[in-house]
Structure 1
Amino acid sequence: ALFSACFGFSLLLAIISPPLWANIFHELHILWRKRSAPLRDITMEMLLISIFLATILAVPFVLRTFFPYVWMDVLYFGDLVRILVRFVERRRRRPLFFVLDRFLEQTAAHPDKNFIVFENERHTFSEADRRSNQIANALQSHPGYEAGDTVALFTGNEPAFMFTWLALAKLGSPVALLNHNIRTKSLLHCFNCSKATVLIASSELKEAVEDVLPSLTEQGVIVLLMTKHCDKPGIEGFSDKVEEASDAPLPRSLRSNITPKSPAVYIYTSGTTGLPKAAVINQNRLLTALVVLSSNGVTSKDVIFVNLPLYHTAGFVIGFIGSIETGSTIILKRKFSASQFWDDCRKYNVTVVQYIGEVMRYLCSTPKRDNDKDHKVRLAIGNGIRAEIWREFVSRFGNIQIREFYASTEGNVGFINYAGKVGAIGRVNFLHRKLFPYILVKYDTERDEPIRDADGLCVEVPKGETGLLVSKITDIAPFVGYAQNEEQTERKRLRNVLKKGDLYFNTGDLMRIDDENFIYFQDRVGDTFRWKGENVATTEVSDILTISECLKEANIYGVQVPGHEGRIGMAAVTVKREAQFDGKKIYNHVVNYLPSYARPRFIRLQNAVEVTGTFKQMKVKLVEESFDPGRIQDPLYILDDKEKSYVPLTAQVYSSIMSGNIKL
């Protein structure tokens, strides 16, 4: 035994110092030759056993030294297999199994457990089930509605959002999740994308509904407001009907025609061009989304803080749908508040939080407190956190596990940083690439298209270089596209990538993979910028500006501001002939038509908007010059909410913005 232990130890040393191992082996060989035959046999057996034991002891050391992430990879592979097995098992169930069925399972198993906590309200699983039954029964009895009709949901973060979605799922109705910040043209466009026949809105959004009511009335849309009474013709109060409705369960036959490919929800994304597009999330896709939280170690014992918008993928899919799978309690907040965040976490014993990059930066920007680490949060899951903010967040608020991931609403590929490498959005590996084939290809940012070789195929970038992420469209990784928008759907398809006839999804994201197989987000291509956690399509903003009274053309782009995540909107505009720039009128115009995050903060007046030979607006030089009055001779204006106008951008104001004294 002593000999075996010594030999094992010597083998471990040999990994570090081969000459030392050679000397030890030589001495053992001499010792073996001096022994008698029986003793040599025993010694040989001991030698073989020693080698076996030493190998077992050496393997973890070797793996930890030369392959530090191998055990994490193995655990991740196990999670992938477990997810696939669970998904296949659910797909084989009869009758068909969907997200709603998982909610009903949780209700039966934990009827009295808190499901949603909102302000001073607490709703158990059984209460959520009964309330959704009432909404479904009230809607089913409404003239003009039939089970399975598409319904648009126009409300903020409140329990009614979740109850109504569950109700519509019980009726087999697809749901369009409308952004409660949009108005007029954008609101009507998003509603029409889904071909909804019913609009259900919260009482706080009555004025926004009234703005588009003539068009809805003309289409014969049923407009229901979450209030007991409504005196506006064309809008019906719905709350009183819900209160009077039965809470009896609805028959499964109402949704018997639903298949895995049936649309479940429409989630809107700005993408790169045009007005918001309705990404079709079918039942199959939503079923796979159930595992997002559970695959990251979230259990029924966890309390999840949901303060991101429920109309977004992050809030709806991860926060809401993910909690249905785990049976966790949701702490629902109307909107994110940096000043109240940790107090809420302490008040409700939150253990899991969601984030986008801006959220983490806002939290790190709050004044430091002695109780910053006094909480029960153990896991933060989200995307868009910068490396320096990651380090600062963990240093200040404690040893919270950060699970950064990459995904898009309509996309067919995703990554998760299960190894916890600071700054990375995920880790690539053989199995993942086999299941979801993807590559990084060379991209020409000036021409805004992939670079192709002499055969017309895309060129894969070497490891360490930045390239466009594209993912092969397969049965396992489908791309459903956008509702009522085949043109934009086709734009996201990339053909002839590695061989003639193949088909890939163009993510529009530039990535880089390092030597350790970690993948990093680099930039976004196309005409879009991201501000306050929202993707803003520049063409949408341009269209809004050019329907104003005094502006002729508008070139929209995002510019970086020190101390702020993403890029803030800026517009280079020309004024109509015989018109003058009116800061107050333009301010009122953008406020009426655009949500706050999409409003251009800076306006630059030009004599003419520069275009390329193919009449594309030139942005590169404009982005470089940003909003610096020292570099720009053109008149510059800044949006001023106090003055309710666009006012001249002076050198003093610019200096205050750059120094951080003025926050945007």
Structure 2
Amino acid sequence: MYLLVSIFFTSLALTPLLLKTIYPYFWKDAVYFVDLLRILLKYILRRRRTPLFMVLDRFLEQSVAHPDRAFILFENENYSYRDTDRRSNKIANALQKHCSGLRAGDTVALFMGNEPAFIFTWLALAKRGCAVAFLNHNIRSRSLLHCFNCCGAKVLIAAAELQEAVKEVLPSLREQGVCVYVMAKQCDSPGMMAFSDLLEDAPDTPRPLSDRSGVTFRSPAVYIYTSGTTGLPKAAVVNQNRLLTALAVLDSTGVTPGDVIYLNLPLYHTAGFLVGLIGSIETGSTVVLRRKFSASQFWDDCRKYNVTVIQYIGEIMRYLCNTPKRDDDKDHQVRLAIGNGVRAEIWKEFLDRFGNIQVREFYASTEGNVGFVNYTGKIGAIGRVNFLHRTLFPYVLIKYNTERDEPIRDTSGLCVESPRGETGLLVSKITDIAPFVGYAKNSQQTEKKKLRDVLRKGDVYFNSGDLMKIDHDNFIYFQDRVGDTFRWKGENVATTEVTDTLTLIDFVQEANVYGVQVPGNEGRIGMAAITVKEGQHFDGTKTFSHVASNLPAYARPRFIRIQNAVEVTSTFKQMKMKLVEEGFDPACVTDPLYILQDREQSYMLLTGQVYSSIVSGNFKL
């Protein structure tokens, strides 16, 4: 008996060691499973509540439970949950009084940068039962008008500093009968109304629930714009149900009410809004809002505001690692970094330099129906796959022909699953639990993202456009993007939009836009191979002026290659692969090469000396 008891307790004592040796991620997997079930149960219970429970209701809960807790810290301003609630009430009441044509269910376009008014206005519109389209404050003219029109908005609310951009498209807006408000005390432009004055007399009393009584889980909540192969941004529809699920993002990574979150990513983006802001509403945390990212001030801000959680995209990690080293690099309270797109080598360098910070790399897309979280901290992985996750959100990696830009199919017409350890295209089954809503007023592109007859005849999957690989330890890694979109400085750049912009220049015959890799930089930077019309010549100054007026900085092609003719395939598709491989080295490319020079406001001849300084990292891109 004594021997049996000894064996039992010895086995019990050795169990953790055996598990760590044989199943090194057992405990982390177990914690993740429990967390996933907890979040799923919370979501199900919220879906069953009456009246319907939305993200706005979660914010109102936090305002009642913690009215004096700081919600937004912005420069020298401090707004509590109560302050935020009351200020959004004033905006909602002002709109009710002065914008009589605005009804519940209507869409309002918000053209504003990172500032508290962005958050106040979104909450106000949610209280009025309206959907909100987040316009990128960097876009201008044709792109701005396109983005506004494709969401079907009846009202535009713009920041004071964006008045000139609005004026460019004001005639078209007035023709459509759009009400235009500017967050300023004065506005002299006919057709635009100053909104700040209207707020002074507006009461801060809550709006009645009847304002949003017609809102359902299927109702659009926000529109977030994403670039694709269509040439201009697409408005991804984020409905109220999708917004509700976004509450779980920070909660699932261990963020608590006592955390202070540094939000320097654009609020018009998925990462800034859905992850940073919506996630903070769920946890009741404090948000430090910054107008834009600054590598030189990043850690000083973290120390000033006692930041504990930071957000990143891959570029941010690299920018921080490229700043001059300081003695106080590890002197901060940041314990958690949440984001996506960081390379393994940058990840390691970041931890070595800035201390023992938990990095939670994740994968998701604005319109996609599947995501992954690297809850183990395995460097380089975007997540860890498991049976439970795949059961709830069925996905598969399929073989993909990158040259033909299409999935590989077998003799029966079905897609071929990629073996473990090999790269494949990530596709995820469209189900009631994992729906794909699509894009506003763009049924063609919505259908294009659907892949049919994947594993069985008649099934429908969402095509992520991303190439992945799953290793033998069940970690999943991002490999590359397919199609005509490349990523630079955290932004997706649609080659067709840039092509269309370039071909509007009077001397450009054809343009072929693609992304090329630059040593030491994340993503791919824009390059264009163009042909010049007969009898004309390339004008670098005119080209610079045109792209600067029509494209945001991240989408402007940095390099231009002058060709005699744009090469096409037998089906008249532009050939990019060869151009991508040849890159922008003047020693390898016989065609004339030019580089965008901001200081000279022109495209200048790319010399071997400039190329060397780019490759060495001495030339800032």
Q: Same fold (TM over 0.5)?
A: yes
Say whether residues 1:239 and 2:199 are aligned partners: no
Amino acid at match of 1:65: T
Shift of 1:146: 2.2
Aligned residue number for residue 7 of structure 1: none
Matches within 5 A, 1:425-444: 425-444=382-401
Aligned residue number for residue 47 of structure 2: 91
Residues 273, 527 of structure 1: 8 Å contact kept? no
CA distance in 2, matches of 1:432, 1:393: 30
Deviations 1:163-201 (A, max 9, x none): 000000000000000000011111111111110000000
Aligned residue number for residue 94 of structure 2: 138
Matches within 5 A, 1:512-551: 512-551=469-508
CA distance in 1, matches of 2:298, 2:460: 44
Residues 140, 147 of structure 1: 8 Å contact kept? no
CA distance in 1, matches of 2:451, 2:587: 42
Matches within 5 A, 1:578-617: 578-617=535-574
Matches within 5 A, 1:193-232: 193-232=150-189
CA distance in 1, matches of 2:37, 2:538: 61
CA distance in 2, matches of 1:274, 1:514: 35
Matches within 5 A, 1:555-634: 555-634=512-591
Aligned residue number for residue 148 of structure 2: 191
Partner of 1:216, secondary structure, is helix
CA distance in 2, matches of 1:214, 1:507: 38
2:22 equivalent among 66, 69, 89: 66
CA distance in 1, matches of 2:495, 2:40: 39
Amino acid at match of 1:275: L
CA distance in 2, matches of 1:185, 1:232: 20
Q: Which moved more, 1:632-641 or 1:360-369?
A: 632-641
Amino acid at match of 2:66: H
Partner of 2:296, secondary structure, is helix
1:252 equivalent among 206, 209, 219: 209
Partner of 2:273, secondary structure, is helix
Amino acid at match of 2:25: Y
Matches within 5 A, 1:449-488: 449-488=406-445
CA distance in 1, matches of 2:236, 2:112: 19
1:375 equivalent among 320, 332, 341: 332
Aligned residue number for residue 81 of structure 2: 125
CA distance in 1, matches of 2:102, 2:216: 21
Partner of 1:339, secondary structure, is coil
Displaced runs of 4 or more, over 6 A: none
CA distance in 2, matches of 1:288, 1:204: 34
CA distance in 2, matches of 1:144, 1:502: 43
Aligned residue number for residue 318 of structure 2: 361
Deviations 1:590-610 (A, max 9, x none): 000000000000000111100
Shift of 1:233: 0.6
CA distance in 2, matches of 1:390, 1:72: 20
Partner of 1:510, secondary structure, is strand
Residues 175, 264 of structure 1: 8 Å contact kept? yes
Aligned residue number for residue 57 of structure 1: 13
CA distance in 1, matches of 2:87, 2:603: 47
Matches within 5 A, 1:339-354: 339-354=296-311
Aligned residue number for residue 15 of structure 1: none
Deviations 1:382-438 (A, max 9, x none): 000111111111111010000000000000000000011000000000100100011
CA distance in 1, matches of 2:200, 2:282: 28
Shift of 1:566: 0.8
Amino acid at match of 1:407: A
CA RMSD of aligned residues (A): 0.8
Matches within 5 A, 1:383-402: 383-402=340-359
Amino acid at match of 2:218: K
Residues 104, 214 of structure 2: 8 Å contact kept? no
CA distance in 1, matches of 2:229, 2:342: 22
Deviations 1:83-124 (A, max 9, x none): 110001101110100000000000001111111010011111
Shift of 1:53: 2.5
Shift of 1:149: 1.5
Amino acid at match of 1:158: E
Aligned residue number for residue 307 of structure 1: 264
- Alignment size in residue pairs: 620
Matches within 5 A, 1:147-158: 147-158=104-115
Q: Which moved more, 1:252-261 or 1:272-281?
A: 272-281
Residues 273, 528 of structure 1: 8 Å contact kept? no
Amino acid at match of 1:83: I
Partner of 2:120, secondary structure, is helix
Shift of 1:523: 0.4
Aligned residue number for residue 38 of structure 1: none
Amino acid at match of 1:583: G
1:554 equivalent among 486, 507, 511: 511
Aligned residue number for residue 319 of structure 1: 276
Aligned residue number for residue 72 of structure 2: 116
CA distance in 2, matches of 1:386, 1:244: 52
Residues 193, 484 of structure 1: 8 Å contact kept? yes
Amino acid at match of 1:344: D
2:255 equivalent among 295, 298, 311: 298
Say whether residues 1:406 and 2:380 are aligned partners: no
Aligned residue number for residue 642 of structure 1: 599
CA distance in 1, matches of 2:538, 2:121: 46
CA distance in 2, matches of 1:174, 1:585: 40
TM-score in terms of structure 2 length: 0.99
Shift of 1:661: 1.4
Aligned residue number for residue 508 of structure 1: 465
Shift of 1:539: 0.4
CA distance in 2, matches of 1:51, 1:140: 75
CA distance in 2, matches of 1:473, 1:299: 32
CA distance in 1, matches of 2:252, 2:546: 46
Aligned residue number for residue 663 of structure 1: 620
CA distance in 2, matches of 1:484, 1:496: 25
Deviations 1:321-345 (A, max 9, x none): 1111111110000000000000000
Aligned residue number for residue 81 of structure 1: 37
Partner of 1:338, secondary structure, is coil
CA distance in 1, matches of 2:536, 2:159: 40
CA distance in 1, matches of 2:305, 2:437: 39
Amino acid at match of 2:151: S
Shift of 1:162: 0.2
Structure 1: gaps spanning 5 or more residues: 1-44
Structure number with larger C-alpha Rg? 1
Deviations 1:344-375 (A, max 9, x none): 00000000000000000000000000000000
Amino acid at match of 1:300: P
Identity across the alignment (%): 73
CA distance in 2, matches of 1:145, 1:265: 16
Shift of 1:61: 1.8
Residues 588, 645 of structure 1: 8 Å contact kept? yes
Deviations 1:289-316 (A, max 9, x none): 0011111110110000000000000000
CA distance in 2, matches of 1:446, 1:387: 27
CA distance in 1, matches of 2:105, 2:388: 39
Amino acid at match of 1:660: G
Aligned residue number for residue 424 of structure 1: 381
CA distance in 1, matches of 2:104, 2:93: 10
Shift of 1:49: 2.7
CA distance in 2, matches of 1:306, 1:78: 28
